[in-house]
Amino acid sequence: MGIPAVDTTPWRPRRTVRARFTVAQAVVLIGVVILLASALYLPIQRYVASITEGAYQLLTGSVASSITTSMKSGDAPATREILRGAAGQTDVGFLQVTDSQSRILFDTFSEKSQVGEQLSDALTASVTSGGTASALTTRDDVQYRTFAVPHLESGTLSYAVRLSVPSSVIDSKFTEVTRFFILIAVIGCVIGTLAAYLLASRLTRPITRMTESALAIRSGNLTAYATITTRDELEQLNREFQRMVERLKSYFLAEYEQKKQALVANAKLEEANKQLSEVNEQKTQFLNAASHQLRTPLSVIHWSLSMLAEESTKYAQMTGDEREMLVEALGSTKKMVDLVNDLLDLSRIEQGSRAAEWQLGNAGTVATELVHALQPLATQKNLQLSIDIPTPIPDSYIDSKALYQIYNNFVDNAIKYTAQGMVRVQVRIMDNHVVALIQDTGIGMTPDEQSRLFTRFSRGSEASKMFANGTGLGMSVAKSLLELMGGTIQIQSEQGRGSLFAIAIPLHTVPPA
């Protein structure tokens, strides 16, 4: 699994902390203003209305007091002049003066039509009883707030002054107060938002510097530290960031030195491997040349000794010592020829000059011929050597010579390292493979010996005791030839109880590529 690629493109935020903090502060301020306005709206409205009505009530009382002299003297023009002056003040709609019977004596709104009219509104009872009051009245489709103040003489109602103000004027007072509060709220929100922006700018400025420092360090400038002297957590964070970079720098330098040393060591190792490869190539060439040079004279010697041993006349004329020397020489040359052949096979396989020679043949026939050839060796050791082919093996493309050598190495070893009992060869078809099962009741192998079975020049301790002259090449050659044919091998063995080898080669109905 590969290492995931890292995106090195600088990431830029879509929103800034400064903007988010400013917006949040503005939202909070607006929310607080709305909550306060909702909580204070009705109380302030009632309070403003109460103050306004109280002011107009005082004004009504003042007018009532100012016309006392003219009313006593019956100076109607003077009374009318005073009323007109009062009615001309800002916001006053009209003024009325009524007698004790609630009849209109003076009316600045329409004197001719209203004088003498009997009033029967909601204020009449309060005024008649000598109390002050206010109530809503409608005149010419206009709604007014009317304030009434009686004038008493010796406890008896003499006259009453009624001052009417349009309701819209009274409501406008609260509207003016509302506008004032809205203006104050807007100014407060603007000032609060600006303060939040400035505060956020002050808070985020060190973070921006640290971000710029991190980007510079990532690009390779390991000394691009930000200078932050806020004496708070941001300065602490910056100091810890610098310590982290210093630690990473030391790790980087250490890793750089290690890689540099590793490169030097790797160059030396490559040079050593090159020299070893050259030595190995020279060794292989030497073994190949030496084996070729040795095989011819050894074959001649082995053939000559075989001829002497086969000619019974000459063999019968030899003394016992001579016969023993002949047999010993024949056996030694046989071992030398086998060793030279093994070395030649290994060197050819290493050089790639040994390729499989695919020809139409029969693996069962090869196994049968081998068992028949090794039968005298098994009989000499009183061993039961048998072959079992339950079903006929079909012809296929095989390297008969290589397969014979593979079977020979395993069966010969089985006979060699079995003191008593049997060696059985069984050939069958399994999963489109020809499988040869070679079983013996010999010395067996430990797990460690099984792991080293196909290592060159490796031999088990018990095998070395039984045959000290073995080379340890037979199994390695057999494994190499088996791999050349695309085959596999499995082992089951227990020390002192024998071994079972399962050799499988593909069943090729056409010549392999």
Mean pLDDT along residues 194-221? 78
Q: Tell me what pLDDT residue 284 has.
A: 62
Phi/psi at 436 (5° precision): -105, 120
Q: Tell me what pLDDT residue 424 has.
A: 94
Ranking 3-7, 40-44, 204-208, 468-472 by mean pLDDT, the lowest is: 3-7
* CATH code reported for the domain at 228-354: 1.10.287.130
Euclidean distance between CA atoms 101 and 115, whole angstroms = 13
pLDDT at 189 over 50: yes
Mean pLDDT along residues 259-267? 89
Q: Tell me what pLDDT residue 2 has.
A: 46
Question: Higher-confidence residue: 210 or 398?
Answer: 398
Mean pLDDT along residues 478-494? 87
Confidence of residue 502 (pLDDT cuts 50, 70, 90): very high
Degrees to nearest 5, angle at CA 40 with 170 and 132: 40
DSSP characters over 246-306: HHHHHHHHHHHHHHHHHHHHHHHHHHHHHHHHHHHHHHHHHHHHHHHHHHHHHHHHHHHHH
Residue 400: burial class (beta carbons within 10 Å; 0-12, 13-18, 19+): middle
Q: What amino acid occupies position 204?
A: T
pLDDT at 314 over 70: no
pLDDT at 468 over 50: no
Sheet strand arrangement including 104-107: 104-107, 94-99, 156-166, 142-153, 133-139
Q: How far is CA 434 from CA 142, 370, 453, in A?
A: 120, 16, 23
Neighbours of 120 (CB within 10 A): 9
3-class secondary structure for 491-504? Answer: EEECCCCCEEEEEE
Q: Tell me what pLDDT residue 281 has.
A: 66
Length in residues, the chain: 513
Mean pLDDT along residues 330-358? 67
Average pLDDT value over all residues in the chain? 78
Euclidean distance between CA atoms 165 and 169, whole angstroms = 7
Please answer whether residues 491 and 413 qualify as being in contact, where contact means their C-beta atoms are separated by less than 8 angstroms: no
Euclidean distance between CA atoms 303 and 314, whole angstroms = 15
Q: Tell me what pLDDT residue 7 has.
A: 52
Q: Tell me what pLDDT residue 495 has.
A: 87
SS3 67: coil
Question: Higher-confidence residue: 313 or 447?
Answer: 447
State how beta strands 396-398 and 433-440 pair.
unpaired
Euclidean distance between CA atoms 484 and 489, whole angstroms = 13
Q: What residues form DSSP beta bridges with 51?
A: none
Q: What amino acid occupies position 58?
A: L
Q: Domain map of the chain by residue range?
A: 14-216, 228-354, 356-506
- What lies within 8 Å, CB to CB, of 179 at 6+ separation is none
Mean pLDDT along residues 457-483? 68
Torsion 172-175-181-187 (CA) sign: negative
pLDDT tens-digit profile of 91-149? Answer: 788 888 888 787 888 888 765 556 666 676 777 777 777 777 778 888 888 888 888 88
Q: Tell me what pLDDT residue 394 has.
A: 92
pLDDT at 1 over 50: no
DSSP characters over 382-411: T-EEEEE-SSPPPPEEE-HHHHHHHHHHHH
* CATH code reported for the domain at 14-216: 3.30.450.20
Mean pLDDT along residues 391-411? 88
Q: Tell me what pLDDT residue 3 has.
A: 45
Question: Higher-confidence residue: 395 or 354?
Answer: 395
Among the residues of 311-362, which ranges form H helices?
A: 312-317, 320-351
Percent of the chain with pLDDT over 90: 8
Q: Tell me what pLDDT residue 6 has.
A: 47
pLDDT tens-digit profile of 266-311? Answer: 888 888 888 787 766 666 655 555 555 555 666 666 666 666 666 5
End-to-end CA distance of the chain: give it in Å, rounded.
33
Confidence of residue 470 (pLDDT cuts 50, 70, 90): low
Euclidean distance between CA atoms 412 and 377, whole angstroms = 9
Confidence of residue 504 (pLDDT cuts 50, 70, 90): very high
Q: Tell me what pLDDT residue 36 has.
A: 78
Quick one: angle between helices 474-484 and 400-416, nearest 10?
150
Mean pLDDT along residues 196-221? 78
State how beta strands 499-506 and 488-493 pair.
antiparallel
- Give the H or E element holding residue 233: helix 233-310
Q: Which of 409, 376, 380, 379 is closest to 476 using CA atoms?
A: 409
Confidence of residue 208 (pLDDT cuts 50, 70, 90): confident
Phi/psi at 105 (5° precision): -100, -40
Q: What amino acid occupies position 62?
A: S
So what CATH class is 356-506?
A: alpha beta
